[in-house]
Amino acid sequence: MYEIKKVLNHNVVIVHDSGKQSEYLIMDKGIGFGKKPGETAVPGERASVYSLQKKNERGNAREMAEEIPAVYLEIANEVLDQAEEAFGKIDRNILFPMADHIAYAVKRVKNNEQISNPLTEDIRILFHLEYKTAGCIRGILKQKMGILIDDDEVGYIALHIHSAIVDEKVSHAMQLARAVRECISYVENEVGKPINIMSLSYNRLMNHIRYMVARAISGEKLKVNMNDYMKVKFPQAFEMAETVCKQIERNLKCTLSDVEIGYLAMHIERVASDEQDEEYTVTVKNRPNHLQLRL
Average pLDDT, integer, range 159-187: 86
- Position 143 scores a pLDDT of 94
Which amino acid would we find at residue 172?
A: H
Identify the residue with better confidence: 4 or 166: 4
**Is residue 194 located within the same domain as residue 119?**
no
Which pLDDT score, from 0 to 100, does residue 286 have?
39
pTM over 0.95: no
pLDDT tens readout for residues 38-74: 999 989 988 999 999 876 655 688 889 999 999 999 9
At residue 177, does pLDDT exceed 70?
yes
Element (H, E) at 239: helix 235-252
Distance spanning both ends of the chain, measured CA to CA:
56
Domain count, the chain: 3
Whether the per-residue pLDDT at 290 is higher than 50: the answer is: no
What is the per-residue burial (b if ≥16 Cβ within 10 Å, else e) of 169-193?
Answer: ebebbbbbbebbbebbeebeebbee
Of 167, 185, 217, which residue sits at a domain end?
167
Q: Which amino acid is at 173?
A: A
Q: Label residue 178 by pLDDT band (50, 70, 90).
A: confident
Residue 272: phi, psi to the nearest 5?
Answer: -70, -30
Would you say 54 and 25 are in contact if contact means Cβ atoms under 8 Å apart? no
Domain of residue 233: give its range: 172-294
87 and 1 belong to one structural domain? no
CATH code at position 252: 1.10.1790.10
Domain boundary among 167, 186, 214: 167
Beta carbons of 174 and 119 less than 8 angstroms apart? yes
Which of these, 139, 134, 147, lies nearest to 103 by C-alpha position? 147
Q: Look up the CATH number of the domain holding residue 29.
A: 2.30.24.10
C-beta atoms surrounding 161 within 10 Å: 30
Region 191-204: mean pLDDT is: 82
How much of the chain, in percent, has pLDDT values that exceed 90? 53
| CA nearest neighbour of 3 among 54, 42, 49, 53 | 42
Q: ∠ CA(204), CA(237), CA(184), 5° rounding?
A: 50
- DSSP bridge partners of 111: none
Domain boundary among 137, 167, 197: 167
Q: 150-159, 224-233, 279-288: which range is least confident on average?
A: 279-288
What confidence score (pLDDT) does residue 85 get? 95
Whether the Cβ atoms of residue 41 and residue 3 lie closer than 8 Å to each other: yes
Residues 179 and 148 in one domain: no
